[in-house]
């Protein structure tokens, strides 16, 4: 056991963290005097500060979360007012005003008949809940055999066993098998790696082929992100979602739009499906619903999906003690006030061209193979050879991303994601208040560090 003084020094924090804190998805054994744990202790606007006072541009919005930017005291004030009024009550058989108001506000913003909001504590819980809802929806309609769900290769949908079954990343899945049964995977829209003459709707048609292969009478839902995060911001080709919607309708399969990242302005709209003009049956969301000032997620179901659970003695036998917590709901309301007042969605639509142009200007670097994405959600794919699009093997990728880029980008004051769950990519998703000075800063750091990576690691 260690004792903690009132305000631990930087060195003490390092020691305590190494001894007691279990960081997520982190190689805890990799931290030592040469490689200290990054401790972020303060934040403001688009910037965060470590415990030594060094400033970093938060080019990832703290994992796609803090869309409204850091350090807004009005969110804390909303939380403080809420504690005075009602600290906590659960949504199990009771309601409270903030959850009711927030559900109504989300329903008003969500497109079409997405009118019923089931709160969760985060994204994995939202996906888990949506998958259970899809199965249960078919069962109460007398189609209980419809239990399978179709997701895409390399997609990340969370870590709970159901959400993990939907996740299409082998290294994350195989350590925890057996997973929830019934998950099937189909190709994603990694257009950069498609042959030039490939039918753009090939990946949509692959969903139908899989439904038919499995037997439509066994398939409950298709779960897809508007822009797929893992693999590096895969955007859909024109007509993709229109076709997916048609396929789902034809086979009585629900379309779940996993918008844990893509909602709340990330793509310039409240919901990612609005950008690509499709109507899901269920939306899952979390992260920026509160701009992450408090943990909260939600499943937003269409009236049609919710309807069987709203009659007589029917109920959706599922829930979480803390979901829809009054503090989180009050903060989400304050967050949506900021979105409206500052027109953050409009800001993204107005500035995404400039952001993208800045990233496209890096295409002259030998390591930059592709730049892709939508809104303030963009990726750069790194290659060994631009002409052939040759990628890095596992060992090279490890050396490039974890051996060099992650550390160098951070040392140069930029937090972004260097990731190889598909081919190696750098991902950028700054707060929606980012503007020309932040774009220029991102450009300068990327140009230097990607240039050095080529000279020192690849060439």
Please say which residue, 125 or 370, places its beta carbon nearer to ligand PLP.
Answer: 125
How far is it, in rounded angstroms, from Cα 48 to Cα 154? 30
Could you tell me the smallest distance in angstroms from the CB atom of residue 225 to ligand PLP?
5
Cβ nearer to ligand PLP, comparing 13 with 223: 223
Which residues fall within 8 angstroms of residue 284, CB to CB, at 6 or more apart?
123, 126, 127, 129, 130, 256, 257, 258, 259, 260, 297, 298, 299, 300
What's the min distance (Å) between Cβ of 384 and ligand PLP?
28
Cβ proximity to ligand PLP: between 156 and 320 the closer is 156
* Terminal alpha carbon distance of the chain: 48
Among residues 258 and 381, whose Cβ is nearest to ligand PLP? 258
User: To the nearest whole angstrom, how small is the minimum distance from the Cβ of residue 132 to ligand PLP?
Assistant: 15
Nearest distance, CB of residue 156 and ligand PLP, angstroms: 5
Residue 304 CA to residue 352 CA, distance in Å, equals 35
CB of 226 to ligand PLP, least distance (A): 10
C-alpha distances in angstroms, 273 versus 23, 235, 335, 344? 33, 12, 20, 17
Task: Compute φ and ψ for 210, nearest 5 degrees.
Answer: -70, -40
In the bound state, the residue with its beta carbon closest to ligand PLP is 123
Phi then psi for residue 84, to 5 deg, are -65, -35
CB nearer to ligand PLP: pick between 25 and 92: 25
CB of 385 to ligand PLP, least distance (A): 30
d(CA 323, CA 211): 33
Distance CA 173, CA 167 (A): 7
- With respect to ligand PLP, which residue has the nearer C-beta, 227 or 327? 227
Interacting residue ranges for ligand PLP, rule: CB under 6 A: 122-124, 127, 156-158, 225, 229, 258, 260-261, 286
Least distance between ligand PLP and beta carbon 121 (Å): 8
- Min CB(285)–ligand PLP separation in Å: 9
Q: How many CB atoms lie within 10 A of CB 250?
A: 11
* In the complex, least distance from residue 108 CB atom to ligand PLP, rounded to whole angstroms: 24
**Side-chain half-sphere CA neighbours of 404 within 13 A:** 20
H-helix or E-strand spanning residue 380: strand 377-382
Distance CA 102, CA 262 (A): 19
Q: For ligand PLP, give the closer residue by CB, 146 or 287.
A: 287
- Cα 102 to chain centroid, rounded: 21
How far, in Å, CA of 275 to CA of 432, rounded? 16
Helix-helix angle 436-453:344-360, to 10 degrees: 30
Least distance between ligand PLP and beta carbon 122 (Å):
3
Question: Which is nearer to ligand PLP, 122 or 326 (by Cβ)?
Answer: 122
- Nearer to ligand PLP by C-beta: 122 or 268? 122
In this complex, which beta carbon is closest to ligand PLP, that of residue 123 or of residue 369? Answer: 123
Residue whose entry in the numeric block shows the structure tokens 């040469």: 34
User: Which tokens belong to 179?
Assistant: 């997973």
Q: What is the 3-state secondary structure (H, E, C) of 155-181?
A: CCCCCCHHHHHHCCCHHHHHHHCCCCC
């Amino acid at each position: 056991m260690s004792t903690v003084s009132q305000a631990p020094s930087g060195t003490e924090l390092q020691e305590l963290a190494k001894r007691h804190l279990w960081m997520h998805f982190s190689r805890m054994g990799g931290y030592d005097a040469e490689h200290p744990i990054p401790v972020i202790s303060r934040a403001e606007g688009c910037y965060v500060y470590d415990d030594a006072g060094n400033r970093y541009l938060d080019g990832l919005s703290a994992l796609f979360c803090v869309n409204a930017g850091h350090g807004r005291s009005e969110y804390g004030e909303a939380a403080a007012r809420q504690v005075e009024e009602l600290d906590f009550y659960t949504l199990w058989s009771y309601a409270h005003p903030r959850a009711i108001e927030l559900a109504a506000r989300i329903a008003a913003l969500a497109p079409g008949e997405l009118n019923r909001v089931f709160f969760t504590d985060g994204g994995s819980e939202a996906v888990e809940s949506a998958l259970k809802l899809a199965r249960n929806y078919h069962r109460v309609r007398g189609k209980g055999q419809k239990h399978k769900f179709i997701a895409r290769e390399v997609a990340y949908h969370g870590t709970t066993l159901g959400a993990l079954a939907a996740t299409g990343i082998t290294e994350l899945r195989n350590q925890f098998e057996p997973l929830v049964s019934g998950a099937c995977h189909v190709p994603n829209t990694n257009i950069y790696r498609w042959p030039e003459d490939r039918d753009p709707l090939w990946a949509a048609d692959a969903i139908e082929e899989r439904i038919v292969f499995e037997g439509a009478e066994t398939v409950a839902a298709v779960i897809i992100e508007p822009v797929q995060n893992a693999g590096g911001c895969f955007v859909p080709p024109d007509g993709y979602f229109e076709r997916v919607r048609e396929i789902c309708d034809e086979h009585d399969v629900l379309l779940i739009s996993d918008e844990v990242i893509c909602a709340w302005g990330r793509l310039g709209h409240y919901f990612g499906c609005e950008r690509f003009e499709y109507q899901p049956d269920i939306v899952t969301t979390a992260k920026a619903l509160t701009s992450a000032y408090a943990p909260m997620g939600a499943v937003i179901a269409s009236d049609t999906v919710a309807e069987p659970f709203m009659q007589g003695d029917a109920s959706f036998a599922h829930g979480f003690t803390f979901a829809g917590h009054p503090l989180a709901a009050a903060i989400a309301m304050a967050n949506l006030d900021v979105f409206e007042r500052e027109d953050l969605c409009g800001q993204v639509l107005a500035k995404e061209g400039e952001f993208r142009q800045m990233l496209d200007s890096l295409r002259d670097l030998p390591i930059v193979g592709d730049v892709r994405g939508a809104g303030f959600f963009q990726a750069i794919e790194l290659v060994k050879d631009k002409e052939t699009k040759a990628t890095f093997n596992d060992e090279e990728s490890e050396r490039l991303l974890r051996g060099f880029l992650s550390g160098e980008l951070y040392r140069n004051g930029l937090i972004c994601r260097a990731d190889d769950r598909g081919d190696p990519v750098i991902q950028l998703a700054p707060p929606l208040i980012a503007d020309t000075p932040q774009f220029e800063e991102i450009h300068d750091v990327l140009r230097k560090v990607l240039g050095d990576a080529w000279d020192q690691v690849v060439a």
